[in-house]
């Protein structure tokens, strides 16, 4: 796919995010709170689409702040797909990730699929914007960017990449 086409497609993705009232950049912290951010590396995320256009369930092997772990993920389509003349399309999903300690993260995913040279297989660019969580991720926000493939004959979605998860310390230290 040409760079201009990808740029146009991502402009459409940004328009969807603006429509949803979200931002691809990190949420700004309040001046009265401290923000702590940790790196997340997704070594491999394997999901099975429960239909050609979602929903999806799977497991990701991640390294969170240097610690390897498995994370369970589920995602539901929240907007109709946007299709493009070249066969590409964008899926918008709400994702819920559950960590081994029971903490969760909630995100909006944008998955841009573009046809590859292999019939039935598309390349994917995955953009995740975390906007909330529970447990150790209460009030969390952050982002993830990944690349991979989706095989429509097996409904298998695989991607890897990296990102950052931030939380706010809103404890009032004043006496």
- DSSP one-letter code for 54: B
Compute the average pLDDT of residues 138-161: 94
Number of domains in the chain: 1
Whole-angstrom distance between the N-terminal and C-terminal Cα of the chain? 59
B/e letters for 34-65, b = 16+ CB within 10 Å, e = fewer, are eeeeeebbbeebebebeeebbbbebebebebe
Instruction: Assess if residue 175 is contained within a domain.
Output: no
Question: Measured between alpha carbons, how far is 77 from 162 in angstroms, rounded to an integer?
Answer: 23
**What are the tens digits of pLDDT across the range 97-144?**
999 999 999 999 999 999 999 999 999 999 999 999 999 999 999 999
| pLDDT class of 33 with cuts at 50, 70, 90 | low
Place of tokens 């009032």: 172
Widest distance between CA atoms in the chain:
65
What residue numbers bound the domain in which 102 lies?
Answer: 3-23+32-169
Q: What is the CATH number of the domain that holds 69?
A: 2.40.160
pLDDT of residue 158 exceeding 50: yes
- Contact between residue 42 and residue 61 where contact means Cβ atoms under 8 Å apart: yes
- State the pLDDT at residue 108: 97
pLDDT of residue 145 exceeding 70: yes
| pLDDT class of 24 with cuts at 50, 70, 90 | very low
């Amino acid at each position: 796919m040409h760079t201009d086409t990808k740029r146009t497609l991502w402009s459409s993705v940004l328009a969807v995010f603006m429509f949803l009232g979200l931002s691809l950049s990190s949420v700004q912290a309040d001046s009265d709170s401290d923000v702590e951010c940790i790196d997340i590396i997704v070594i491999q995320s394997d999901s099975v689409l429960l239909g050609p256009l979602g929903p999806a369930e799977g497991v990701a092997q991640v390294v969170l702040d240097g610690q390897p772990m498995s994370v369970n993920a589920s995602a539901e389509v929240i907007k109709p797909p946007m299709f493009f003349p070249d066969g590409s399309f964008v899926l918008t999903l709400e994702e819920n990730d559950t960590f081994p300690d029971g903490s969760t993260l909630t995100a909006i995913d944008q998955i841009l699929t573009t046809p590859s040279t292999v019939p039935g297989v598309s390349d994917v660019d995955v953009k995740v914007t975390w906007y909330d969580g529970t447990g150790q991720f209460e009030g969390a926000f952050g982002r993830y960017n990944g690349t991979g493939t989706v095989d429509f004959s097996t409904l298998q979605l695989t991607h890897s990449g990296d990102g950052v998860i931030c939380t706010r310390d809103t404890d009032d230290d004043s006496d």
